[in-house]
């Protein structure tokens, strides 16, 4: 069905169910309970799960299939954000033109950077992409904020002002991002018992985009083109000896990956109509590398899981302060309570990166295949099977 094998269709159904029912799944604890701080079913965080999942899916097409590690993908995320906001400023708040332009501009920009960077491989390729990303950040932060041609508005960030043209905007449309008149921030709340579920229109727009992006990635992974990219990763020199030129394939993968990043950048601006140079920093590029490796590079669903995992830590664990810790250990004697707070304090709040780093070390050491491998091992343990198939390595079939 839909050109997918039975195993891929099951995987697609899992992603579909997780995205559609995320407002319920991510709110396991009653709103007034002490554990409610671990709920993640509010619109802003769910949107980030989905958007950065798209970003990681695109990065995985390059890194997971070809083995080319890019440290500059945040440049395409930032370019996509700027392009979308410029559409808001020129045409109006309808997100569709902005997202389309984000993908196009990111694709053109990635073709330019990829054409130069792919002349080298290995660490030299990675350094080149990092250099281009940092140059893009510097341009957005300073040069392109020059009053003569203010394209980025520097450190303040690009945003929409009342004197912008917005040629297709009218009083009947909301003064914030929308899709054909429906505001992206429109939210329906459903109260059931002690639970409060929020169904946000903007989240479901992003979720539909994620589902389409995930479907396209499956088709790409299973296509003859995907097999050629695997051949590049396996042994590029041997591929060259057969008379095949790997450069067009790697450049195509780089451009497709950049377009995914531009799409994610456009969706970020659609959620919040503000584009800043910080989205192009090297830390943002490093973050998507962590997402992909943590979830499982070369797998289909791994990058999505990795993105959700990191964004959950960033937004939930970073909010745990000493007051919360004292409430957790209040049942202990005062001295022991303070001791436990002092022991846990470095791993939460501002120190959440320490916890993430330790978890990343454990995953890389004991689960080289990421969270996907961990899930497969758990599944084999529960079902008693010795062997399980992976979505990253299907049974090879001849390319037609």
CB burial of residue 4 (10 Å; 0-12, 13-18, 19+): middle
What is the per-residue pLDDT for 395? 46
Q: Is 382 a member of any domain?
A: no
Helix (H) or strand (E) holding 178, with range, is strand 178-179
Quick check: is 293 in a domain?
Answer: no
Q: How many domains does the chain have?
A: 1
pLDDT tier at 108 (50, 70, 90 boundaries)? very high
> Considering the entire predicted model, what is its pTM?
0.91
The per-residue pLDDT for range 118-130, each reduced to its tens digit, is 999 889 999 999 9
Instruction: Let me know if residue 330 belongs to a domain.
Output: no
Residue 323 lies in a domain: no
Contact present, 75 and 136 (Cβ < 8 Å): yes
Residue 280 DSSP code: G
Q: Is the pLDDT of residue 5 over 90?
A: no
Residues 180-213 pLDDT 10s:
999 999 999 989 888 899 999 999 999 999 999 9
User: Domain residues for 262?
Assistant: 6-282
Q: Does the structure show a pLDDT above 70 at 396? A: no
Query: What is residue 386's predicted lDDT score, i.e. its pLDDT?
Result: 55
CA 79 from centre of chain:
15
pLDDT given at position 156: 85
Looking at the chain, the whole-number percentage of residues with pLDDT higher than 70 is: 96
Instruction: Please identify which residue in the block is written with the tokens 């745990």.
Output: 320
Q: Does 145 reside within a domain?
A: yes
| Average pLDDT over every residue of 132-149 | 85
Helices (H), the chain: 6-20, 22-25, 43-66, 74-90, 95-117, 122-141, 201-222, 224-241, 247-271, 282-295, 302-315, 322-328, 334-344, 352-366, 370-383
Does residue 375 fall inside a structural domain? Answer: no
Which CATH number does the domain housing residue 120 bear?
Answer: 1.10.3470
383 domain-assigned:
no
For 241-292, the pLDDT digits (tens) are 888 888 999 999 999 999 999 999 999 999 999 998 888 988 889 999 999 9
Condensed to tens digits (0 to 9), the pLDDT of residues 19-70 reads 999 999 999 988 888 788 888 888 999 999 999 999 999 999 999 999 999 9
Is 370 part of any domain?
no
């Amino acid at each position: 069905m839909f050109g997918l094998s039975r195993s891929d269709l099951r995987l697609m159904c899992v992603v579909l169910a997780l995205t559609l029912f995320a407002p319920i799944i991510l709110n396991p604890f009653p709103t007034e309970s002490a554990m409610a701080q671990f709920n993640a079913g509010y619109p802003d965080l769910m949107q980030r799960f989905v958007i950065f999942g798209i970003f990681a899916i695109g990065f995985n097409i390059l890194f997971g299939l070809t083995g080319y590690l890019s440290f500059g993908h945040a440049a395409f995320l930032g370019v996509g954000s700027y392009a979308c906001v410029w559409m808001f400023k020129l045409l109006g708040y309808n997100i569709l033109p902005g997202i389309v332009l984000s993908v196009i501009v990111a694709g053109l920009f990635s073709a330019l950077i990829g054409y130069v960077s792919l002349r080298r491989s290995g660490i030299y390729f990675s350094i080149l992409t990092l250099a281009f990303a940092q140059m893009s950040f510097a341009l957005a932060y300073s040069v392109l904020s020059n009053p003569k041609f203010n394209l980025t508005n520097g450190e303040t960030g690009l945003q929409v002002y009342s004197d912008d043209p917005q040629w297709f905007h009218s009083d009947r449309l909301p003064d914030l991002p929308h899709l054909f008149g429906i505001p992206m921030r429109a939210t329906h709340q459903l109260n059931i018992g002690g639970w409060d579920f929020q169904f946000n229109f903007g989240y479901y727009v992003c979720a539909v985009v994620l589902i389409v992006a995930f479907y396209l990635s499956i088709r790409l992974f299973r296509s003859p083109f995907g097999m050629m990219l695997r051949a590049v990763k396996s042994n590029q020199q041997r591929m060259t000896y057969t008379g095949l030129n790997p450069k067009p394939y790697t450049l195509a993968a780089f451009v497709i990956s950049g377009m995914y990043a531009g799409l994610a950048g456009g969706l970020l601006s659609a959620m919040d109509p503000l584009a800043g140079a910080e989205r192009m920093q090297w830390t943002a590029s490093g973050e998507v590398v962590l997402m992909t490796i943590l979830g499982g590079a070369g797998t289909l669903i791994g990058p999505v899981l990795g993105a959700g995992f990191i964004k959950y830590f960033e937004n939930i664990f970073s909010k745990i302060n000493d007051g919360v810790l004292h409430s957790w250990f209040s049942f202990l004697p005062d001295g022991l309570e303070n001791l436990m707070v002092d022991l846990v304090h470095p791993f939460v709040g501002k120190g959440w990166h320490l916890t993430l780093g330790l978890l990343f070390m454990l995953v890389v050491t004991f689960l080289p295949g990421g969270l996907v491998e961990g899930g497969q091992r758990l599944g084999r343990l529960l079902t008693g099977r010795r062997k399980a198939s992976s979505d990253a390595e299907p049974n090879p079939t001849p390319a037609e």
